[in-house]
Amino acid sequence: MFKLLVLLLSLELPLFQLNDTIVCFESMNSKLYDYWSPLHYSYARVQNSRTPFLSTLLFLNGQNISSPVLGGTPPEETLVMLDGIPMVNPMIGYQDVSAVPISIIGAIETLHSSSSLNALPGIGGTVNFIPKSTPFSLGWSNYRRSLHFTVNPIHSLSVLAFAEGFADSFRVSMDGQDIWITNTYDQKTGFLVKSSDGRSQLLIVKRECGAPSPLGSIGSGSRSEFLEGSNIQRNWKDVKVSISNYYTSQYYKTSSSTDIHKTLFLRNSYSTNYIETGLSLYAASSTKIGEKILPSIYVILTPPYFSFHKFGLSTNLSIDYNFNSNSLTPSLLLALSYKFRGNLLGFLNLSRNYRNPTFNELYWPEDTYSKGNPNLKPEHSKNIDLGIRNINEKHFISAAIFLKDIESGIMWVQESKYYPANFSNVVHLGADINFAIQLSSAAYWELSLNLQKSTVDGMPYLYRPYISANSYIKSGPVSFEIFYLGSREERPNSTKKLPPFLLLNGALEKEVNIKSFITIFRIGMENILNVNYELTRGYPQPGRELFIEINFKKEKINAR
């Protein structure tokens, strides 16, 4: 079965381990037994897109910020990870994933409804970005310049170094007029160090970028950032010890103000076969909210897997104690599976998830436009995931429906000023289908489709499309990708919508042997139709993009 996924995906499938510390994803060289875990899980390669579009995972872009939305839930309700490093920002609740160049990402894993599994933000679920292992890659386009390479300085470590630059401005056509979107520059450098056993990672990123206001606003600014994250796991006798952290330092400057925001997420955990316990620390130091610290203690109980005939049952109970609010929050997961004939697996997940308010939501000082709300209550949700998966030598198929029913959902509303408030009910109801087919030794087809309805107290949720679809096909050296995003609500209490759009990307690649390396040349075009589109109101995206890439893949086997 392992050879099948290598054939379909040209990568080893990183698996979700139920008993890992934070939702740790690993590449396995053995039997794919964990594939039968009854979880709403999907895996997809990043194809041609510089901004990946996946039907169930939407990236809301604007102001040099990109944050993922899984199953319609806000970014604050999604746990984002880079190769197992939790990218948790206690102040804003989510992390800007554009801080890491998409050129280094080879695949994306998604896991729905995950906060009950790890006592971390995950009402929507977990998104894990898997870096490429390409030894050397150089890219150029009319908007971007990118470089990354992987080296192995010592036997047990690998280093992925990267640099990327984005244009100072780009032109779009809006309402029949050409407009230059300025102050969009973005320059970042960094590296990711990883141990050969995959149990230790270190991330360092330095970034300089613009911070433009929405189209039509005269405000603009700049942002300097430093990011550091790590994840270390070790065994001590029968106990697994894990230490994870994520630190951000952001310096904002505009014509009228200067702000500094520093945040730290730190977790120390100890786990055995069926129990895990640890301490989580959320801290922030900001010119806006002052210095805030929120510690919590958690316990996760994972009883042994139970099976009877073709049925299987996994259970998980997490309990989190918040020192600031003196509250105890339990979360529960019941995951039932049934093995049909062959490799067909059915699964049903029933879970109760939660999210605590962010520091910004609680403590943002009252200014001209907004204010925080120290009386906010945590969000709680009842999640249902029901689906089937099938895999054989030529295809991978997954189909699922999901319901995320959130009580006391937190959203910013406007009265005299913007402020966060608990809503009585937020509902995300949808279905997603994913399949991959190896049509021949040289042809491959991948398709994902998402149908969804998201509401807040019965009213449509902003920017959540009712339909999105992505299709990728490769035949020999030619590949095409088509992405469709349906219309979505643009403003609250309004019938105005952002229009649907269709993007078409294409590429042509040629493999050449140069000395001791296999060199792959790729030339292609993103947004071939030069569509003008916005994912969120006021932030137009770049138009047609011509790119060239050179990848040194690996050494030839018979090299001397």
Side-chain half-sphere of 92: how many Cα atoms within 13 Å? 14
Contact 258, 250 (CB under 8 A): no
In a domain, 124, yes or no: yes
Contact 3, 28 (CB under 8 A): no
Structure tokens at 370: 């907004």
Q: Closest Cα partner for 112 from 39, 24, 165?
A: 39
Residues constituting the chain: 560
Residues sharing a CB contact under 8 Å with residue 430, sequence separation 6 or more, in sequence order: 56, 71, 72, 401, 402, 450, 451, 452, 453, 454
CA distance from start to end of the chain: 34
Q: Number of folded domains in the chain?
A: 1
**CATH number of the domain that 18 lies in?**
2.40.170.20
Q: What's the predicted TM-score (pTM) here?
A: 0.89
Contact 351, 113 (CB under 8 A): yes
Show pLDDT as tens, one digit a residue, over the chain (560 residues): 323 333 333 333 332 232 222 233 332 222 223 445 788 888 777 876 777 778 888 888 887 888 999 999 989 999 999 988 999 999 998 888 988 988 888 888 888 998 888 888 889 998 988 888 777 888 888 888 888 887 766 668 888 999 999 888 888 877 778 888 888 899 999 999 988 877 889 999 999 998 888 887 777 889 999 999 999 988 888 898 989 999 999 999 987 789 999 999 999 999 888 899 999 999 999 999 999 999 999 999 988 888 888 898 988 899 999 887 788 889 999 999 999 988 888 999 999 999 999 999 999 999 888 999 999 989 999 999 999 988 777 777 889 999 999 999 998 888 888 899 998 899 999 999 988 888 887 888 889 999 999 999 888 998 999 999 999 999 999 999 999 999 998 887 778 899 999 999 999 999 888 776 788 889 999 999 999 998 888 888 888 999 998 887 665 444 33
Structure tokens at 238: 């029968």
Range of the domain at 535: 2-555
In a domain, 560, yes or no: no
CA-to-CA distance for 148 and 20, rounded, in angstroms?
30
Neighbours of 424 (CB within 10 A): 11
In a domain, 235, yes or no: yes
In a domain, 442, yes or no: yes
Neighbours of 383 (CB within 10 A): 28
